A and B are shown apart, each in its own frame.
Chain A
Amino acid sequence: MSQPLLKVDGLSLGFRGDGGFAHILDGVNVTIQPGEIMGLVGESGCGKTTLARAVLGVLPRNGLQIRGGAIRLRDIDMLSHEPAEVGRQNRVRGRKVTFIPQDPFTSLNPVLTIGEQIDDLMKWKSPLRDPDERSYWPTLLRPYPRAARKADREKVMETLDEVQLPQPAQILKKYPHEVSGGQRQRLMIAMALLPEPELIIADEPTTALDVTIQAQILGVLRKLASDRGVAVMLTTHDLGSAYEICDAITVMYAGQEVEAAPVGSFFNAPAHPYTAKLLASRPDAGGSMTGIPGELPNFYAPPAGCRFITRCDRATERCTIRPEPTRFAAGHVARCYHPLTAPESDRKEKRA
């Protein structure tokens, strides 16, 4: 397989708080290939948003401790504090990696027009210009040459059209509170696409929207991302929409990825008991509305072995030892000693 675009490798981090150290992420592995739409699925509190913020470099700093692991975007170490590496991080941020936030209602600045905010984005992140372009102007006084602005504006209008925003010219003159939620999220998608990134981090982009609009927004995102070959990391707790638009799915549970698979084998041959229960609890799959019995383990003192041990009906003595990712098929791994399908190694042994 080609070199992955994004590789989160054994990332462990947490926050020091009143109750001790909260283990938010515990050895997470996530891989995203170029152009791939990866759904990051899990219950609230499983660490999806923290992982998304870690990749974007906007983790809250209060009490943060990174205990191990790495995030690599191509060959850039996104967690490094080396000045040279930080420079490379800053150059890709907003250019190669962009962001679609969870809540379009509060993610645009309320006192500036939409046009002004898009202008600032393009002034600094336009794909039409070299990101390393030197300027002797201090940041706030940096000029935005007329020609550059004109070229950028053309691209903006084109992109706003592509996300199907009606009357883009008028919308640019408006303030965020003057446009609807669905339109704002279309704007956020347009802003994420404008710098022509390789990866878009979309953090539950539809949870704040009406159900009728959710499908439209995901449809727009799916179409534009695959048209342009942009990879997307889409965090969601909605398996149905993940199935509709993702190429691959990673399931997170209590700060770990428990299973990662291409969308086909994920739905047809889930390996991890948690995945199976998630799939069974979908209302549209005839599941009961009770969900999965039990609760997420305590962040301050998570189980040493399998994190799902407290809620799993297949758990044995062996599960108190931490399971490592096991390969089930091409691109399909899970952390489980008692999977629902046989791991690849077992099948090979049987054949031999």
Chain B
Amino acid sequence: MRRLEIILSRFVWFIPTLFGLLLVVFLIANVVPTDPARIIAGENATEAQLAILRAQLGLDEPIYVQFFIYVRDLLSGDMGRSLYTQREISDDLLRRLPATMELTLVSITLAILIGVPFGVISAIRANTWVDQTLRVISVSGLAVASFWFAIELQLFFSTRLGWMPLNGRIAGFGPERITGFLLIDSVITGDWASLRSAMWHLILPTLTLALPAAATLLRFTRAGVLEVINSNYVLYETAMGFPRALVVWKYVLRNALISTVTQIGLIFGTLFAGAVVVEAVFDWPGLGTYAVQSILQSDTKAILGFSILVGVVFIGINLLVDIVHTFIDPRMVK
């Protein structure tokens, strides 16, 4: 079948894309003038001690050998150890991944729920006051810096009004860890207090992340709807007396969504980048705070691991988007 062919060809591209990502990230990490051996050994270490340490870490090899060794280890799931904690980087990352995924997935859902309907409304009311108002809101939504917005939200809703928790993921110990997604785990274990707490903690960080994403989706949905609203099939359906709501929310939106879905995949990348900032502000125990720590400590291998994991997730999400694409646009399959 044609759909399977498309999916397989995307999968095949997955490998070179990932390799390219690996190469770029590895080079950048090694170009930065830091010496991991010196960081570990401390300032008082002698040259001889440093040389031994470099040999242990494999740093005395030429860079292409280091790259080869890194890739070989990576293939067996080994990202090396953190220079500081000496823990497996892959373990740390996987433990923190669910927190970030939960944050970004809830945010993208919220962004879709806000951005798509308002994009449609903006388009069918194009150039009226409704459209203008939404335009002003969405442009400012994009222009506002997320760290500033996050802090404002904290100051207002947590500090001033005391309605929302200031930071963290949950109050108390949380549900038993099964998937690492607090919302899912608390539902599975029936721990409703944890569920409430987790949801409550999610509100401000997801708002911070979702609003700019919603603004982008709104612009794209609006453009997509405007493109099809004057098409012949909309004229036909209107002339045949199809109810307006059916024409707009089914016939038009299904077509407009094709470009919006592509956008959702790309937005996911910006959400991950945004999560680094938002997690720092809200003290969210996810990949973002880990990345910030690693960067501040020049923990090269940890940074490398983080970049690769985020890259894999991003490529994976876009692969998923491509698959969804073949379902919403049947012309791709033919």
Say how far B130's CB is from chain A's closest CB, in angstroms: 17
Q: Does A79 contact B (CB under 8 A)?
A: no
Q: Does A241 contact B (CB under 8 A)?
A: no
CB under 8 Å from chain B, chain A span 109-133: 109-113, 120-121, 124-125
* Chain B residues with CB under 8 A of A53: 239
**CA A90 to CA B243, docked complex, whole Å:** 9
Interface-facing stretch out of B189-197, B244-252, B269-277, B279-287 = B244-252
Q: Does B11 contact A (CB under 8 A)?
A: no
CB under 8 Å from chain B, chain A span 47-79: 53, 56-58
Q: Decide: B242 and A112 in contact? CB cutoff 8 A.
A: no
Q: Does B334 contact A (CB under 8 A)?
A: yes
Interface centre among B240, B246, B254, B328 (most CB of A within 10 A): B240
Interface centre among B231, B245, B249, B330 (most CB of A within 10 A): B330
A108/B236 contact (C-beta < 8 A), A124-B242, A140-B246 known: yes
What mask results when residues 235 to 269 of chain B are scored 1 for a CB within 8 Å of chain A, else 0?
Answer: 11111111111100111001100100000000000
Q: Does A138 contact B (CB under 8 A)?
A: yes
Q: Decide: A107 and B249 in contact? CB cutoff 8 A.
A: no
Interface-facing stretch out of A98-106, A152-160, A262-270 = A98-106
A111/B232 contact (C-beta < 8 A), A58-B239, A191-B240 known: no
**CA A103 to CA B237, docked complex, whole Å:** 13
Q: Decide: B241 and A124 in contact? CB cutoff 8 A.
A: yes
Q: Decide: A112 and B251 in contact? CB cutoff 8 A.
A: yes
Say how far B224's CB is from chain A's closest CB, in angstroms: 12
**CA A140 to CA B242, docked complex, whole Å:** 11
Q: Decide: A106 and B255 in contact? CB cutoff 8 A.
A: no
Q: Does B176 contact A (CB under 8 A)?
A: no
Q: Decide: B239 and A93 in contact? CB cutoff 8 A.
A: yes
Q: Decide: B329 and A111 in contact? CB cutoff 8 A.
A: yes
Tell me the nearest residue of chain A to B240, going by C-beta. A94
* Chain A residues with CB under 8 A of B328: 111
**CA A108 to CA B329, docked complex, whole Å:** 14
CB under 8 Å from chain A, chain B span 305-319: none
Q: Decide: B250 and A101 in contact? CB cutoff 8 A.
A: no
* Chain A residues with CB under 8 A of B245: 138-140
* Cross-chain pair count, CB within 8 angstroms: 83
* Chain A residues with CB under 8 A of B235: 58, 101, 107
A107/B233 contact (C-beta < 8 A), A139-B246, A177-B334 known: yes
What mask results when residues 218 to 247 of chain A are scored 1 for a CB within 8 Å of chain B, else 0?
Answer: 000000000000000000000000000000
* Chain A residues with CB under 8 A of B331: 110-111, 175, 177
Q: Decide: A111 and B254 in contact? CB cutoff 8 A.
A: yes
Interface size on B, residues (CB 8 A): 26
Q: Decide: A107 and B232 in contact? CB cutoff 8 A.
A: yes
Tell me the nearest residue of chain B to A131, going by C-beta. B241
Tell me the nearest residue of chain B to A139, going by C-beta. B245
**CA A121 to CA B246, docked complex, whole Å:** 11
Q: Pick the residue among B241, B255, B330 that contacts A175 (CB under 8 A).
A: B330
Q: Decide: A101 and B241 in contact? CB cutoff 8 A.
A: no
**CA A234 to CA B330, docked complex, whole Å:** 33
* Chain A residues with CB under 8 A of B231: 106
Q: Decide: A140 and B233 in contact? CB cutoff 8 A.
A: no
Q: Decide: B241 and A95 in contact? CB cutoff 8 A.
A: yes
Say how far B138's CB is from chain A's closest CB, in angstroms: 25
* Chain B residues with CB under 8 A of A56: 239
**CA A177 to CA B249, docked complex, whole Å:** 22
* Chain B residues with CB under 8 A of A85: none
Q: Decide: B243 and A124 in contact? CB cutoff 8 A.
A: yes
A111/B255 contact (C-beta < 8 A), A58-B235, A140-B249, A175-B331 known: yes
Tell me the nearest residue of chain B to A116, going by C-beta. B250
Tell me the nearest residue of chain B to A203, going by C-beta. B239
Q: Does A178 contact B (CB under 8 A)?
A: yes
**CA A281 to CA B178, docked complex, whole Å:** 83
* Chain B residues with CB under 8 A of A99: 236, 239-240
A121/B233 contact (C-beta < 8 A), A109-B255, A139-B245, A175-B330 known: no
**CA A56 to CA B242, docked complex, whole Å:** 12
**CA A200 to CA B242, docked complex, whole Å:** 16
Beyond A90-B241, A109-B255, A120-B246, 15 additional pairs, beta carbon < 8 A = A53-B239, A57-B239, A101-B235, A106-B231, A109-B254, A111-B258, A111-B328, A112-B254, A124-B243, A125-B241, A139-B245, A140-B245, A140-B246, A140-B250, A191-B240
Closest 8 CB pairs of A and B: A94-B241, A93-B241, A139-B245, A106-B232, A94-B240, A99-B239, A56-B239, A107-B236
| 21 residue pairs bridging A and B, Cβ less than 8 Å apart | A58-B239, A92-B241, A94-B240, A94-B242, A98-B240, A109-B233, A109-B251, A109-B254, A109-B255, A110-B330, A110-B331, A111-B255, A111-B329, A111-B331, A121-B240, A139-B244, A140-B245, A140-B246, A175-B334, A178-B334, A191-B240
Residues of A whose CB lies within 8 Å of any CB of B are 53, 56-58, 90, 92-95, 98-99, 101, 103, 106-113, 120-121, 124-125, 138-140, 175, 177-178, 191, 201
